[in-house]
Amino acid sequence: MKQHNPREIALRQFSRAAEIMELEDWIKNILSYPERTVKVHIPVKMDSGEVQVFVGYRCQYNAALGPYKGGIRYSPDVDEDEVVALAQWMTFKCALVDVPFGGAKGGVKVDPKKLSRAELERLTRRFTYEIVPVIGPSIDIPAPDVYTNDEIMSWIMDTYSIIKGYNEPAVVTGKPTYIGGSKGRKEATGRGVAISTREVLKLYGEDIKGKTIAIQGFGNVAVFAGLILQDMGAKIVAVSDSKGGIYSPEGLDIRDVVKHVYGDEEVNGKKKSVISYPGGKQISNEELLLLDVDVLIPSAIENQITEENADKIRARYIVEGANGPTTFEADEILFKRGIVVVPDILANSGGVIVSYLEWVQDRMGYYWEEEEVNEKLEKKLVKAINEVFHTLNLYREKGKEIDWRTAAYILSIERIAKVYRKRGLFP
Ligand code: NAD
């Protein structure tokens, strides 16, 4: 078991909200468990001719609101508890931003950096084959997550389509635009993180212009959040990756860092580490989290802000680009210190909002321009942010001080509970 078990954290977050909102026991019980977790063993012929067997999961947490939806990650840290926690977060994220999806998540325990491109393709196609019985446009729709990208989504779509005997772009989102992807999907999560930052600051009477920001990570979420926040007038003073970070109090030119790290490749292509960028001082990931900035945006992996460093955080706002970067104990410390934590299920929901728009476009066979997609994304997200703030104030008026995460959970749990109350329980 991991030191900070994400399943345990996710359940404690849910239970805290369920208790405060006085959720009926029967609904609380249902929402405490995943509906189904499929575990598969994936045999892959390696380039050497040897056959290696990898373990993969697809957790389908809840489908009260619609087909299951959630990314697939490739990482050596993947295990069942992590996948279930991520699927639970997806369930509440979809409900929170009001898209008609349930929650799911998948993962393969593998270090993709150690695989050749051909091995990665064979692994993806065989994993898809193993989960074909449980996925589909009306059943469960995967998407990219850590160390998976639009190419991997294309292999999933292709494998599924070949097995079914017809082209089915709506089985997966996060595809390239020329095979049924949505314009704006690649940037969507980062765009959502940037919009969340700007809007939450606005709710507290602050302007994004000139604010100093540290971003942990330099992958899909971090890069686009950084670029868009920079365009909004914020100053990105630090970014990092798994090797470490760079810091420049005058502000980094994120476009230039992207050019250095990714060259002419897409953001998901082969890359250098940010630490080789000449324009900043090298710092560790731990140091990045403790920088004296206005906003901290963890956008890499889980469990970065814990009871060990929460009392040393100097940012006034934390906007969770990553899923689960803050532990339950850390949340309590930050809340007592008056630091606003914009939770993952809200802050990084831009990805699933545009995934929903991609699925809609695939199903109707008509594709929108990027402006239209971005407009729809912003409208949905800003609405959710305001609703969470409203919930927060509603509970404050009742004499219950709650944090943004709890308010977001309450809102999304209520949306799912309402459906259960009306649909009832089969049989
Ligand atoms: P990615 O693979 O593109 O990037 C991950 C980044 O994290 C990389 O820069 C990597 O170097 C860095 N990283 C890995 N291990 C690290 C470590 N130990 N310390 C510091 N940095 C480390 O992944 P992504 O798609 O940007 O996802 C990042 C986070 O955002 C994940 O938590 C993911 O679940 C979440 N998320 C992603 C999306 C999406 O649409 N991609 C949507 C919602 C949430």
Q: Which of 63-77, 258-272, 411-425 has the lowest mean pLDDT?
A: 258-272
pLDDT surpasses 50 at 120? yes
Whose CA is closest to 71, among 169, 153, 157?
153
Nearest-atom index, ligand 1, CA of 302? 32
Mean pLDDT of the region 121-133: 98
159 Cα to the center of ligand 1, angstroms: 25
Q: What is the pLDDT of residue 269?
A: 62
Kindly name the residue from 105, 175, 235, 380 that is annotated as catalytic.
105
Give the CA count within 13 Å in the CB-facing half-sphere of 74: 19
Three-class HEC string of 276-329: HCCCCEEECHHHHHCCCCCEEEECCCCCCECCCCHHHCCCCEEECCCCCCECHH
SS3 of residue 54 by DSSP = strand
User: Is the CB of 299 within 6 Å of ligand 1?
Assistant: yes
Written as six digits, the tokens of 66 are: 């619609």
Radius of gyration of the chain (CA): 20
Question: Is 105 known to be catalytic?
Answer: yes
Q: Is the CB of 387 under 6 A from ligand 1?
A: no
* Cβ of 144 below 6 Å from ligand 1: yes
> Percent of the chain beyond pLDDT 70?
98
Q: What digits encode the pLDDT tens for the residues 203-244?
A: 999 999 999 999 999 999 999 999 999 999 999 999 999 999
Q: In what order do the strands lie in the sheet with 103-109?
A: 36-45, 51-62, 103-109, 68-75, 140-144
When pLDDT is averaged across residues 96-122 and rounded to a whole number, the result is 97
CA distance 81 to 397: 37
Q: Measured from the CA of 148, which atom of ligand 1 is nearest?
A: 2
**% of the chain beyond a pLDDT of 90:** 96
Asked if the model's pLDDT at residue 84 lies above 90, the reply is yes
Cα 23 to averaged position of ligand 1 atoms, centre (Å)? 33
pLDDT digits over 387-412, tens only? 999 999 999 999 999 999 999 999 99
Alpha-carbon span 175 to 161, nearest angstrom = 14
Q: Whose CA is nearest to atom 42 of ligand 1?
A: 351
CB distance 147 to ligand 1 below 6 Å:
yes
What's the confidence (pLDDT) of residue 266? 72
> Average model confidence (pLDDT) for the chain?
96
Rounded CA-CA distance 4/384 in Å is 29
- The Å distance, Cα 158 to ligand 1 centre, comes to 25
- pLDDT of 81 over the 70 cut: yes
Whether residue 219 has its Cβ less than 6 Å from ligand 1: yes
Residue 98: is its pLDDT beyond 70? yes
Q: What is the C-alpha separation between 247 and 243, in angstroms, rounded?
A: 14
Cα torsion through 274, 276, 282, 285, rounded to 10: 30
**Distance, CA 301 to ligand 1 centroid (Å)?**
6
Give the DSSP H/E element, type plus range, for residue 333: helix 328-336
Q: What CA–CA distance (Å, rounded) separates 226 from 207? A: 17
The atom number, within ligand 1, closest to the CA of 349 reads 43
Q: How confident is the model at residue 271 (pLDDT cuts 50, 70, 90)?
A: confident
Q: Is pLDDT above 90 for 3?
A: no
Residue 309 predicted with pLDDT over 70: yes
Residues in the chain: 427
Task: Give distance in angstroms: CA of 147 to centre of ligand 1.
Answer: 8
Residue 1 clears pLDDT 50, i.e. is over it: no
Q: Indicate the SS3 state at residue 211.
A: coil
**Token match 């299951």: residue?**
68
For ligand 1, the distance from its centroid to the CA atom of residue 402, given in whole angstroms, is 28
Residue-wise DSSP of 122-176? HHHHHHHHHHGGG-BTTTEEEEE-TT--HHHHHHHHHHHHHHHTS--GGG-SS--
pTM above 0.85, yes or no: yes
- Domains within the chain, CATH numbers bracketed: 35-171 (3.40.50.10860), 186-342 (3.40.50.720)
pLDDT for the residue 103: 98
> How confident is the model over 347-377, as pLDDT tens digits?
999 999 999 999 999 999 999 999 999 999 9
CB distance 220 to ligand 1 below 6 Å: yes
Q: What is the pLDDT of residue 270?
A: 63
- Give the pLDDT score at 268: 63
> Does the beta carbon of 217 sit less than 6 angstroms from any atom of ligand 1?
yes
**pLDDT (0 to 100) of residue 109:** 98
59: pLDDT strictly greater than 50: yes
pLDDT band at 4, cuts 50/70/90?
confident
